[in-house]
Structure 1
Amino acid sequence: MAPVDSDTLGRHSLIPSYLYSSPSPQKKKMEASSFAIHSPRENRNIEMFSPSFYAACTVGGSLSCGPTHTGITPLDVVKCNIQIDPVKYKNTSTGFGVMFEEQGLRGFFRGWGPTLVGYSAQGAFKYGFYEFFKKYYSDIAGPEYATKYKTLIYLAGSASAELIAGVALCPFEAVKVRVQTQPGFARGLADGLPKLVRTEGVSGLYKGIVPLWGRQVPYTMMKFASYENIVEMIYKHAIPKPKYECSNSLQLGVSIVSGYMAGILCATVSHPADNLVSFLNNSKGATVGDAVKKLGLWGLFTRGLPLRILMVGTLTGAQWGIYDSFKVFVGLPTTGGVAPAAVLAPASAA
C-alpha cells in the first residue's frame, strides 16, 4: 500500500480517508485490495464531512423517518392498543377487527399528525448526528483503533445521536399514544398538544423520556451497527465485485435488504421498552413498576412483538432505502459496505 501523507490524515478522519478516496484506473484493476469508491466530490459540490454534508444527511434522515412512520400508522394504532388493552385487543387479527368495527377506517389513522412531525424531527437528528459522531469518535480513536473497533464506533455514534433525537421525539410520542389509545382525548396534534400541556404541564410531554430512551437507544444502536456490518458482509461474501463497480440500483437494493434484516433485530431488542412507553403514556401517574406488575415479564417482552417485527422490519428497510437514495441523489455514496483497510503505516515508517 502506498504511503499516506500525515497531513491528509490530520485533516480527515479515518472514515473518509479509507472509504471515500477516488481510485485511479490502475487501482480499479486491483479489485482484491481496493476498498475505495468514487468520491462524491466528482459528481456534486458536497465535500465529505462539511456542513453541507451534514445538512444533506439531516434532510435525508427526516425524509426517511417521517413519511415511513406515518405510512404504517394503522399497524402502530393496533399495536399500541394491544399493549394497552390486551383483553379487548387480544391479538393482531382481532385487533384490526375490533378497531374497524368500532371506529371504521378513520380509526386506523389516528395520530398520524404527531407521528409525521415527531419522527421527521427524530430522523433528522438521528441520521445527521450519527454521521457526525461516527467521524468524531473515529478521529478520537485514531486509525488503528477505529479500524479494529469499528463496531464500537457505530454503537457509540448511534447511541449519542439517539439521545439527542429522543428529546425531539418525546413530546410528539406522548401526544400520539394518547390520541391512538384514548378515544375522545383529541383529534390530532393541533388540539392534542395544547390539551396535554394544560392537563399535565410541560413535564407531561417528557414523562416518558427515560423509557423512550430505553426503547430508542438500543433500537438505534442495533439499527446502525447491524446495518453497517450486514452491508459489509453482503459486499464481501455475496457480491463478486467491489462496491464502487456496482450500479446504484444494486447498492440501493443492498441497503433495503440489509435494513430489513437490521430492523428484525431492532424490534426484538427494543420491544420491552416499547411496551413501557405505551403503558406510561396511557396511564396517568403510572410507574415502571406498575407496568411490570400488570404486563408481567413475559408480556413485557412478547406482547405485540410479532406485529412490531413486521412493522419495524418493513419500516427500517424502507428508511435505509430512502436515506441512501437521497444521498445518491445529492451525489453522496450509499452508507456502509466497504471494510476499512488494514491499519495504515505511518508515513515515517514507509
Structure 2
Amino acid sequence: MLFPSVDTINSAFKAPVEAPSKSKSFFVNAAAPSVGKIELYSPEYYYTCTLGGILACGPTHSAVTPLDLVKCRRQVNPALYKSNVQAWSSIIKSEGFGGIFTGLGATFIGYSFQGAGKYGFYELFKKKYADVVGEEIASKYNTLVYLAASASAEIIADVLLCPWEAIKVRTQTTIPPFASSVFDGYRKITAAEGFGGLYKGLSPLWARQIPYTMVKFASFEKTVEAIYKTLPGEKADYSLLAQTGVSFLGGYIAGVFCAVVSHPADVMVSKINAEKLPGESMGAAVGRIYAKIGFGGLWNGLPVRIVMIGTLTGLQWLIYDSFKAFVGLPTTGSKK
C-alpha cells in the first residue's frame, strides 16, 4: 500500500528507547532505529520511499520560490535586477507581495512528482543493480551503483517534472507573468503549441538534472560514509537525532557540488523555455542562445543557486530520512 499503516506509525511512537550511556556522548548509544513492519525492499518499502520523496521535494522547492523566481529572471535577462533584494522590492512594488511566489503552483506539483520518481526509483534501482552485479562487486564499487541508480531514476523523474517545469519557467520569466495559475499556463501552452509544447525542454532538463542527481546521490552517500568513518562507534550506535543531522550535513555538502555541476544546463533550460522559437530545432535553439550569451552567460546566478540548492538538498535529505526513521526504516547511507 502507498501509505504506512496506523500500526506502523503508532509503533514509531511506542518503540522503547534506551537511556544514553553516561560514558558516551549524548548522541551516542541511543537506541538504534529498528525496522518496523515495513519489510525492506518490499513493494510497501518502495511506496513508502516514494511518499518520502514527495514530502522531501514538493514543499522544499515551493519554499524557495522567491529565490527561484529571481534566479530564472536574472538568467534570462542579467540586466533586469541589480541584486536579489532589489529584485524582490521591485516585484512586490509592481506585482504585490504574492508576486514573489509566481510559479508556486507549478513548482509544488512538478517537484512533488519529481521527488516521487527520484527517491522511489533510486531505492529500487540501487537494490536491483546491486543484485545484478552481486554483493561483493556492489560493495567494492558502490559509487558506480549509486551513479547508475540515480541516473536511471532521474530519467523517469524528469518525464514527470517536465510539463510543470515548462509552465513554471514560462510564467516566471515573462513580465507580466504568462499565466495567472498553473492550470491557466497548461491551457495556454497546449492551446498554442499542443501537448508537445510542455516537453520541448525535456532534453536540456535531462542535461541539467541527470548529472545533478548523480552528484546529489553519490556524493551524499559517500559524504555520509566519510562522516561516520570519522566518528567513534557504528552508525547504529547513534540516535535518530544524530543520524538525521548527518543526513542534513551530507545533503548540504552534496547540494553545493550539484549546483556547480548542473548550473550551465539550468541556465539553458530557462533560456530555451523562454526563448525557443516555434519550429526551431533544439540544436539550433541551443546554438543561437549560446552565441548570444557566451560561456560566461552560462554561469549567471550561480551564487544564488549554490545557496538555494545547498539548503534545498540538505533539507530534502533531512526530511526524507526523518520520514523513513518515523515509519521504522533505517536512514540512508553507510552501513558502518
> What is the TM-score with the length of structure 2 in the denominator?
0.86
> Structure 2: which amino acid aligns with 1:211?
P
Deviation sequence 1:10-53 (CA, Å, 0-9, x none): xxxxxxxxxxxxxxxxxxxxxxxxxxx96844xx2111100010
Provide the C-alpha distance between the structure 2 equivalents of 1:117 and 1:257, rounded to a whole number of angstroms.
27
1:328 aligns with 2:320: no
Q: Which position in structure 2 is the counterpart of 1:66?
A: 58
Question: Which piece of structure 1 moves more, 46-55 or 184-193?
Answer: 184-193
Distance of 1:40 and 1:215 partners within structure 2: 37
Q: Give 1:190 shift.
A: 1.7
Q: Which runs of 5+ in 2 are unaligned?
A: 1-30
Q: How many residues align?
A: 299
**2:291 aligned partner:** 293
Alignment RMSD: 1.4
Contact 2:32–2:237, Cα closer than 8 Å, also in 1: no
Amino acid of the residue matched to residue 219 of structure 2? S
The within-5 A match list for 1:1-350 is: 40-41=34-35, 44-182=36-174, 183-237=176-230, 239-285=231-277, 287-300=285-298, 302-339=299-336
Give the conservation status (yes or no) of the 8 Å contact 1:82–1:91.
Answer: no
* Shift of residue 104, structure 1, vs aligned partner: 2.9
- Preserved CA contact (<8 Å) 2:102 2:171: yes
The letter of the residue matching 1:227 is: F
Could you say which residue in structure 1 is the equivalent of 2:16?
none
Range with greater deviation from structure 2 (239-248 or 99-108): 99-108
CA distance 1:39–1:319, shift in 2 (3 Å): closer
- Tell me the secondary structure at the aligned position of residue 83 of structure 1: helix
CA distance in 2, matches of 1:95, 1:304: 13
Distance 2:271 2:81 in 1: 14
Shift of 1:283: 1.2
Q: Distance in 2 between matches of 1:113 and 1:171?
A: 12
d(CA) in 2 for partners of 1:99, 1:81 = 11
* Structure 1: gaps spanning 5 or more residues: 1-36, 340-350
Aligned-pair CA distance for 1:338: 2.2
Residues of 1 paired with 2:264 and 2:177: CA distance?
A: 27
Distance 2:108 2:80 in 1: 27
User: What's the CA shift for 1:324?
Assistant: 0.3
Partner of 1:30: none
CA distances 1:108-143 after superposition (whole Å, capped 9, x unpaired):
101100100000000001100000000111111112
Q: Distance in 1 between matches of 2:301 and 2:170?
A: 18
* Distance (whole Å) between structure 2 residues aligned to residue 91 and residue 270 of structure 1: 22
- SS of residue in 1 equivalent to 2:134: helix
**% of aligned pairs identical?**
55
